[in-house]
Amino acid sequence: PPPPPPPPPPPPFFFQADDVIRDAQESRGLGDVYKRQTLGNSEKDNNDDQTNFYLSSIGSDSNSGTQDNPWKSLSKLSSKQLSPGDSIFFKKGESFYGHLVVNGSGSADKPIVFTSYGSGNQPIISGSVGIGGGGDYQEAIYILNNDNMVFDDLEIQNNRLSSRTNVDDSDSFGIYVHNTGDEVMNNFVFRNMTFKNVYAISQVDPSNQQAFNAFEVAGIRFFTDWNKSHINNVLVEDNYFTDLQRFGVHVKHSIGGNSNDNRHTNFVFKNNEFKEIGGTCILPSRVRNCLIENNIFDQPGAKTNSRMIGRGSAVWNWYSVNTIIQYNQATSIRGILDSHGIHVDHHNENTFIQYNYMEDCEGGFVEILGDNETAVYRFNISVNDGWRENPNWVNSNHTIWLSNTIGGEAGHESNNSFIYNNTVVVNRSSSPYRTAIDIRANNTRIFNNIFYSINGSKMGNKQVNVTDNNLSMTNNLFFGQVDTRFKDYDEQAVFQNPNFYNESLDGAKGYQLLAGSPAINAGIPYSGKYAHPPIPVGDSDIFSEVEAIPSVGFFGRSLTVNSTPNIGANNAKNGEITSLYNLENPLIKDLFNNQEIELKNVDNDYKFRLIDITGKEKKSGTVNSSNSKIKLDNDLENGVYSIIIENDEKRFSQKFIYRKSDS
């Protein structure tokens, strides 16, 4: 993805969680002593005053729960009344089966922390206990009407194979946060966690819309009962989600009564990796203020095994207000319906999809469904999206799709949708395909985009259907096979090759503009009806570092509001080629230049470590002035990594998304 802005300062609770968890993350291998010092909790002999509790699979529930005398079972922990400031440690390399019901709340300044101790792999907590345990539980960890908690450095599973009394066979969750009361539940942090192998016993056909909607298996589930209160202030950061039947994270509210704005509030998802998810990675449903940034979405809608549902866009929202989705990477998305990179479902207000890279998304690029107000796609790059062939739905693959139907009923036009300064490319050298363009909406603006279709593929050739009496479309660049029925709507089109830097490069980098490109200074200025729709950043502190009006394009090149912009996602004026990463680090020159990390100004010997999102070291070594490059192994998988460079005097670190080059 392009260079992200500095992360927004989280609410005060998150600051304290940062201190607790980040230090613990960086102390991997130093064991429990460091963590206890970091957490600032003194372990006491008197169990009534004890604030640290330990679990080991070789412990005993008759023990005191100290590190030397740990408890054994989740049921023992469930029976313990927890208090603000308590910390619970699960031993690494071990598995804990059963049902953890969190008994007690933390406070804003003293959250309850669930984490690990020792060395080795993350401890596994699973609700799968089999027939002998009375059947598998609905979830591994259940949080009912309690709050102020931090979860760090644990692996959560729940592969249900055996039915359990009073648990629906279609339900399975990793962690379930549930509000059934009239009080707001506040402050949850999930960081450095792994969520995997979460499956219900039953399966559904993804083409059966009713069954599909009702099937809600998830790694993390947030849910409020009918007409009850909501959940506020959630941070999901630096986690790894994989091998899940449908959702990575599902946020849902039943609303009820006259509480039409009783939505969940202030949810942040950042720096997570989702790999091979059977459905959607993140679904905010009835959420006000949601920030989704710097995540990697690799193969949503996967069908890695027959139990996966096999359908889902990386992210979509429903009945939500103020959803910002930026600086993410969404690739290889599959499914017979939906399955765009990021789509806007029904009844949302202020959805901003910006600075994202999307590639090989079966459904297509833009999907805005019925009854949305101000849905915005801007400064994104879309490559080879929308190739699906569905015999039951001829135009099932779209470059642009704005629908006005809900439940088969027309008349639900979305209003004030903006699609501008995107670079949309179809250029794969094999298996050319045709896309559809359907726009049934009101006040849609499509401007300053590059639509580029070569190698036999055709944008809009399947169908162009535009029903919008107030469509504003101008200053787009069309090259290759783009259907005339679409191009003819443009009031001031450009019909030339945009002259990309190097299309053979993998990822976004190759879609920068060479000097002299006809796209340079050919856009319409951002004024009047083409003015930037502003993000309502004042509505929440989670947006404090989000720009209300964009100041840069995809590659970080400056925009000046009253100047003439380029067409497309890149606003470089003289062929400047930039890295895709924010390289403010004084040592890192470039990432992934020919499968290596290149350093600069290396004046001494430094040790380096390459760490994956689960904390495992993938590579280590030494660099110096004569050897300033770190070669990446060919078998390194796509994902989120950190590079740490240090010696006795200095220490630098940088997080990045790695995507293997095919060139």
pLDDT score at 118:
96
* Between 301 and 48, residue with greater pLDDT: 301
Chain segment 626-652, per-residue pLDDT in tens: 888 888 887 888 777 888 888 888 887
Joined tokens for residue 371? 């009854």
Inter-residue contact 567 to 423 (CB < 8 Å):
no
Residue that the structure tokens 């506040």 belong to: 186
- Give the separation between CA 131 and CA 433, rounded to whole angstroms: 50
Query: Residue 407 contacts by C-beta under 8 Å, 6 or more apart in sequence?
Result: none
Q: Identify the weakest region by mean pLDDT among 190-204, 281-295, 336-350, 572-586.
A: 572-586
Mean pLDDT of 44-49: 52
The SS3 of residue 46 is coil
**Structure-model confidence comparison of residues 560 and 550, the more confident one:** 550
**Residues 322-355 pLDDT 10s:** 999 999 999 999 999 999 999 999 999 999 999 9
The pLDDT tens digits of the residues spanning 468-527 come to 999 999 999 999 999 999 999 999 999 999 999 999 887 888 999 999 999 999 999 999
Which tens digits make up the pLDDT trace of 16-42? 444 444 443 343 332 332 233 334 343
Query: Worst-scoring range by mean pLDDT, 54-68, 404-418, 595-609?
Result: 595-609
Tell me the pLDDT of the chain averaged across its residues.
89
CA distances from 546 to 5, 80, 541 (A): 8, 42, 10
Q: Would you call 48 exposed, middle or buried from its count of C-beta atoms within 10 A (0-12, 13-18, 19+)?
A: exposed
Supply the pLDDT for residue 544: 96
**277 band by pLDDT with thresholds 50, 70 and 90:** very high
What average pLDDT does the segment 127-133 reach? 97
Calculate what percentage of the chain has a pLDDT beyond 70.
88
pLDDT in tens, 93-104: 999 999 999 999
For 580-601, what is the mean pLDDT?
A: 60
Q: What is the mean pLDDT of residues 547-574?
A: 92
Q: Is the pLDDT of residue 533 over 80?
A: yes
Quote the CA–CA distance of 399 and 487 in Å, as a whole number. Answer: 13
Q: Give dist(CA 417, CA 349) in Å, integer.
A: 10
DSSP H or E run through 432:
none
- Which residues on neighbouring strands pair with residue 398, listed in sequence order? 364, 436
Using 50, 70 and 90 to split pLDDT, how confident is the model at 387? Answer: very high
Tell me: pLDDT of 614 over 80. no
Task: Give the separation between CA 423 and CA 355, rounded to whole angstroms.
Answer: 11
pLDDT band at 615 (very low <50, low <70, confident <90, very high): confident
**d(Cα 381, Cα 425) in Å, to the nearest integer?**
8
pLDDT confidence of residue 305: 95
pLDDT value at position 256? 64
Question: What is the rounded CA–CA span in Å between residue 60 and residue 54?
Answer: 11
Burial state string for 551-582 with b = 16 or more CB within 10 A and e = fewer than 16: ebbbbbbebeeeeebbbbbbbbeeeeebbbbb
- Predicted local distance difference test score (pLDDT) of residue 50: 83
φ and ψ of 133, to 5 deg: -95, 15
Distance (Å, rounded) from C-alpha 333 to C-alpha 301? 6
Q: Which has the closest alpha carbon to 365: 316, 416, 424?
A: 424
pLDDT of the residue at 255: 82
Q: Can you give the C-alpha Rg of the chain in angstroms?
A: 25
Question: Do the bridges between strand 87-91 and strand 112-117 make them parallel or antiparallel, or are there none, so unpaired?
Answer: parallel
pLDDT of residue 4: 47
